[in-house]
Homo-oligomer: A and B are copies of this chain.
Amino acid sequence: MSTTSSAAINRDAPVAIHAQISEGIRSRIASGEWPAHYRLKSEPELAHDLGVSRGTLRRALTTLIQEGLLRQVRGRGTFVTSTTIEPAIAQKLSTLSEDFANQGIVTTTTVLECSLIDPPRPIAALLDVPAGGSVLKLVRLRSTDRGPVALLFNYVRTDLAPGIEGVDFTTASLFGTLEGAYGLKIDAARRTFSAQAAEADVAAQLNLETGSPVQYLQQVTYLADDRPVEYSDVWIHSGRLQVTSLLSRR
C-alpha cells in the first residue's frame, strides 16, 4: 500500500489539481504522517503515484517550498522541513549566531549584562586565571520571531581581550570580536550537552515554567596556543531549537 496514492485527486472539483496535491501533502505533514526530515519519493515516482503530470506535481511542490513546508537539497531530494531551528553546534565549532546566519534565520540579541567581574572559582580555574582577577561576564538572550530561543552566559579572559567590555554585543558577535578586533586564533572547544530543569531566572527569560526541561550546553574555548579564552553556560528552549548533527560514519 502506497502512502501517497491515498490522496484522491478529484478532477471534477473546482479546485485546481496542483492545489489539491499541495493540500494533500500539507495535511500529511500536519498529521505527522510525513514527519520532519521525511524525504519525498522522486518526482517521477510521485507524479506516477498521483496520476498527474510532472509539471502539475512541480507546481504543487513549488507552492509548499515557498510556504517553507518542504525544502529541496541538491542531489538528495525533497524533504519535509523541520519546525524547529536545528543548529549544528554539536558537530562544528560554529556559534549559534553563525548557524542562524547560515540558515537565514533572523534573530535579535538582548544584552542583559556586560560587565567585568571577579569570576567564580570553578570558572577561574577553567579559564586559567587567578582568583581575584577580572573577566568579562556577558549575558545575552537570543530570540527569533517565535520568541526567546537561547540564554547565553559567556565569561571571557580580559587579559587576552582588553577593553572588550566596551563592545556593543547587541550587534557584534563574541567570536567575531575575539577573532576580528583582537586577532585571537580560536582553535577548539569542548562542548557538553545535558538536559536540566530550568531554574526560575532561566525559565523566566525563555518563557518557560520553572522546572521545565531545558537543553544545557557548557563550553570551554581554547586558542591555537592552547590557552582557554572563554567559558560559557547556555540554556536552549528545546521546543524552538534542536541541536542537530549530520554525522558521517567514516
Contact = CB atoms under 8 A, between A and B. Distances in A.
Nearest to A128: B39
A159 interface: no
Interface string A170-198: 00000000000000001111111111110
Contacts of A190: 37, 244-247
A92 to B, nearest CB: 6
Interface residues of A, number: 56
Contact of A126 (B38, B128, B194, B213): B38
Contact of A195 (B38, B189, B191, B215): B215
Interface in A122-141: 122, 124-126, 128, 130-132
Contacts of A189: 246-247, 249
Contact of A32 (B39, B91, B121, B194): B121
Contacts of A2: 130
Contacts of A122: 32-35, 38
Given A76-B226, A126-B38, A244-B192, A214 B213 contact: yes
